[in-house]
Amino acid sequence: MAEQFRSTEALIDALADVSFDRPPALVSNAHVTGLAVARALDAHDVPVIALDRPSDGGPGEGGPPGADGTRRHDGLAPPSDAVAFAGAVTYPLDDLDGFREDVEAVVDAIGREAVAFGCMDEWALAYARAEPEGVRLPFAGVDTLDDVLNKSELYATCEALGVPYPETYRLAETADAATGDPAPDATLDEAAEALGFPLVVKPELKREFEEAFGTNVLEVADPVEFAEAVAAAREEGIAVMAQKRVDIATGRDHSLASYVPPVGVEDALAVVGNAAVRYPQQFGTSCLVETADEPAIEARALAVLDDAGYHGISEAEFVYDDERGEFLLLDVNTRPWKWIGMPVAAGANLPMAAYAAVTDAEYESTGIDPTRWVYLRDYLALLAGDDAFWDRLSAADWRRLVAGDFEREGSLTTGVYRPSDPAPAAKLFETEFVDRDYYCAC
């Protein structure tokens, strides 16, 4: 395991003293998703270096490194046995050039090329935009990423392909705020008349909106709230859209988890997952996900990825609209995500497939088995909460979880807790009961 989270300089010094017999993986960020990716790669003996921003602030933000070169980091990946080294790099949304320089210095210290895995939008886009020398990218270039991540482009693709999506209007008030697009779909009044209230305000590009507002979507109840939300977005220079509030069927959200190789979707490695339980239940993040047989979802998601020319790991998110009686495509995440450990456990090791595509390594799936994934922190909070919720796990599941037998038998895997790799769960307990929040839930 990485025994400490180092400053950039201390990480470079430590890497200069070791050698790697194959390209290491650079995994960013270093929390729940990064942990899952690290474990997936470590299962095939790929060395992992976790890179993230420190929790004690960066240059100019206070919190200098300790005398031993360590930084505070509240993420769960660094203490894992799957992570060989962990350290700080400049946060790309603060300084993309500084991020590039830090990563290139890390790769220079490694002494050979490395493979990058961006586990949130800003990190994936940063690796693609900065193009650090010596870093191999197992996913499409930045122009393709921008086309897929931009909701206007994504929904235009859905329209052309006949893939259902929520009724959505780009807004004149912010159309040129970030995109320079001179052809918005509607004014606020036009969008409100077409969609009715409540409606949803969401960004064309998600991560900057999350940084500014602490969420990736805003529900507004009336014209005043609508105008205020759009004005705030324009002030931040963020283009937003108005979207019909979907009457979502709870427990029927599905996603296609896939790796598409450069040769195209015909050779894609894919698993459909049903987010059977979220925390909070209506609009929270996934805490129980199960494999599902939904060939139409797989076909529609792969058609969108194919049309965009995207290759790499992705999650295409669908919700079921009770009113329309069909699945609607909401979003495509062109990177690993929180429950990527589910397809890995099911037999589709997407990170390893991506790594093998850009190195001399080999990987081939032996088939997909029915699998469930649970994030126990949120699942237990749901069970302990005031809202009515029936436990979806059996007595046998709980016995296997407590005994640790789930790692060897059964169809259940977990997001963090693993007795064979206990340090991340121990750190979660440590950080859960102190008065500070980690900056990201993924």
53-91 residue pLDDT tens: 998 754 434 456 666 789 999 999 999 999 999 999 999
Per-residue pLDDT at 329 exceeds 50: yes
- List, for residues 159-186, the tens digit of each pLDDT value: 999 999 999 999 988 866 555 554 578 9
Question: In the chain, where does the domain assigned CATH 3.40.50 lie?
Answer: 5-139
**Which residue(s) pair with 258 in the sheet?**
270, 314
Topology of domain 253-334+339-374+376-414, per CATH? D-amino Acid Aminotransferase; Chain A, domain 1 (3.30.470)
pLDDT for res 6 = 96
Question: In the chain, where does the domain assigned CATH 3.30.470.20 lie?
Answer: 253-334+339-374+376-414
- List, for residues 331-375, the tens digit of each pLDDT value: 999 999 999 999 999 999 999 999 999 999 999 999 999 999 999
Per-residue pLDDT at 289 exceeds 50: yes
Question: In the chain, where does the domain assigned CATH 3.30.1490.20 lie?
Answer: 167-244
pLDDT for res 183 = 59
Mean predicted lDDT score pLDDT of the chain: 92
- List, for residues 78-131, the tens digit of each pLDDT value: 999 999 999 999 999 999 999 999 999 999 999 999 999 999 999 999 999 999
pLDDT for res 61 = 41
pLDDT for res 212 = 85
From residue 238, alpha-carbon distances to 161, 202, 205, 350 in Å are 27, 10, 8, 32
**Considering the chain, what percentage of its residues have pLDDT values greater than 70?**
93
Rounded CA gap, 279 and 115, in Å? 33
- List, for residues 389-415, the tens digit of each pLDDT value: 999 999 999 999 999 999 999 999 999
**Considering the chain, what percentage of its residues have pLDDT values greater than 90?**
80
- List, for residues 1-49, the tens digit of each pLDDT value: 788 999 999 999 999 999 999 999 999 999 999 999 999 999 999 999 9
Q: What is the pTM of this model?
A: 0.93
Nearest CA to 275 out of 335, 319, 228, 236 is that of: 319
Topology of domain 167-244, per CATH? Dna Ligase; domain 1 (3.30.1490)
* The domain over range 5-139 is classified in CATH as 2.60.120: no
The structure tokens 């699942």 sit at 379
Which whole number is the average pLDDT over 199-227? 90
